[in-house]
A = this chain, B = another copy of it.
Amino acid sequence: MKLNGFYDDLKDSYLFHTVAVKTAGYKEKHPDADIIKLGIGDVTRPLPEACVKAMKVACDEQLTVEGFRGYGPYEGFDFLRTAISGYYASRGTKVAAHEIYVSDGAKSDIGNILDLFDRDNTVLVPDPVYPVYVDTNVMCGRRVIYAGANEKNGFLPMPDRAADADLIYICSPNNPTGAAYTREALGEWVRYAAEKGAVILYDAAYEAFITDGSLARSIYEIDGSRACCIEFCSFSKNAGFTGERCGWCVLPDELVIGGKKLADMWLRRQSTRYNGAPYVIQRGAEAALSAEGQTQIAVNLGYYKKNADVIGACLDRLGIYYTGGVNSPYIWMKCPDGLGSWEFFDLLLDKCRVVGTPGEGFGACGKGYFRLTSFNTHEKTAEAADRIGKYFG
């Protein structure tokens, strides 16, 4: 009996744990401190009414023999795949329903897709990065190289043709930096992937936050992408499904490697190691894409955007460099006065009683940067911005 030794290579991330411990320690010393959390990475607004209504109808259907649903299709129900295809079509992007695979979320898919690839591939991830991209590859012993994001490239690294990569992660708008690629820049990445025979794993989880029409909401807006890109998206950050768990990935017909259609391998994988997302949840997701659902989602997205605007305006007034804040729920700011990420964390907590997330927890290139999020209430976000403005102004 041998365990998977690659787990020993995983670095324990103490980022959010350390944030929690430090915050609790401060709270103990200052029990009356009104601490405002701008480190929240989860949505907070209620589910759209259309979704809840559809989910309850689906629940009631399970009470009769006629309405009862057992095992669903591994690839998701046709009603949802068709609705997602329509969601793309509404923006002029062609993705056929049969190319869409529904699941319990983009995080699961992003990890599970790796099962299709040999261990002996090189993986290129941006730095700073959503830690799951790295850890899922370390767990199976794959070599990881980094594309450094920094102020010079606006936290949007471009391909380095000297570096060979087989799997390339792109998240746009990005977590944690909030930076979003232009169509031209994505075109560069697609050309690079095509040249190298690589596959781009495109994380579009935050696409619904894009308001700038010059930015791509899907990688399939880019020429050549259908032959080399898998897109992952989710109902988490748009419809607030972080607790309901529903997402999808797209494996286009043209995505063929060595004569093998990746969609076929994925269906084999999913039918063997997965059993589909709950019917009730898929009905909720379908409702999220209805006209009524989209209107209700727009209200929630508007709520978060207003918060992002308030934080962005504060940093603008202070002359502090940041990315994101538009087209993203995240604001990635440079720590003032040359402070380190954790130094700034301590100062912000002590002087403004505001909690955020030190950038270096997301990778070496995050040193000296800091992430704030727009998921708190209007009132608390405004109060936090006010305190930051007064202290650093």
CB distance from A183 to the nearest CB of B (A): 25
Cα(A8)–Cα(B136), bound, Å? 23
Residue among A51, A65, A107 with most chain B CB within 10 A: A107
What are 20 A-B contacts defined by CB distance under 8 Å?
Answer: A1-B117, A1-B121, A3-B257, A3-B265, A4-B118, A7-B116, A46-B68, A52-B60, A56-B56, A56-B59, A56-B60, A59-B59, A69-B243, A108-B275, A111-B274, A112-B273, A115-B140, A243-B279, A244-B279, A280-B280
Binds B, one of A37-45, A84-92, A362-370: A37-45
Cα(A276)–Cα(B4), bound, Å? 23
Tell me whether A253 is interfacial, beta carbon within 8 Å. Answer: no
Contact, CB under 8 Å: B46 / A104: no
Given A7-B265, A7-B268, A70-B242, 4 additional A-B pairs, CB 8 A: A4-B118, A5-B118, A104-B275, A132-B273
Contact, CB under 8 Å: B47 / A111: no
CB distance from A63 to the nearest CB of B (A): 5
Tell me whether A80 is interfacial, beta carbon within 8 Å. Answer: no
Q: Name the B residues within 8 Å of A265 (CB-CB).
A: 3-4, 7
Tell me whether A153 is interfacial, beta carbon within 8 Å. Answer: no
CB distance from A120 to the nearest CB of B (A): 6
- Partner among B46, B47, B245, B269 whose Cβ is within 8 Å of the Cβ of A139: B269
Tell me whether A49 is interfacial, beta carbon within 8 Å. Answer: yes
Tell me whether A272 is interfacial, beta carbon within 8 Å. Answer: yes
Q: Could you give, for residues 58-80 of chain A, a 1 whenever the CB lies within 8 Å of some chain B CB and a 0 otherwise? A: 01101111011111100000000
Tell me the A78-127 residues at the B interface (CB within 8 Å). Answer: 104-105, 107-108, 111-112, 115-118, 120-121
Cα(A273)–Cα(B108), bound, Å? 5
Given contacts A243-B279, A279-B243, whether A273 and B136 have CB atoms under 8 Å apart is yes
Contact, CB under 8 Å: A136 / B68: no
Contact, CB under 8 Å: A1 / B42: no
Tell me whether A352 is interfacial, beta carbon within 8 Å. Answer: no
- Partner among B198, B244, B272 whose Cβ is within 8 Å of the Cβ of A1: B198
CB distance from A66 to the nearest CB of B (A): 9
Cα(A104)–Cα(B104), bound, Å? 9
Tell me whether A197 is interfacial, beta carbon within 8 Å. Answer: yes
Tell me whether A383 is interfacial, beta carbon within 8 Å. Answer: no
CB distance from A77 to the nearest CB of B (A): 10
CB distance from A125 to the nearest CB of B (A): 14
Q: Name the B residues within 8 Å of A167 (CB-CB).
A: 1
**Smallest Cβ-Cβ distance to A242: which chain B residue:** B70
Contact, CB under 8 Å: A3 / B139: no
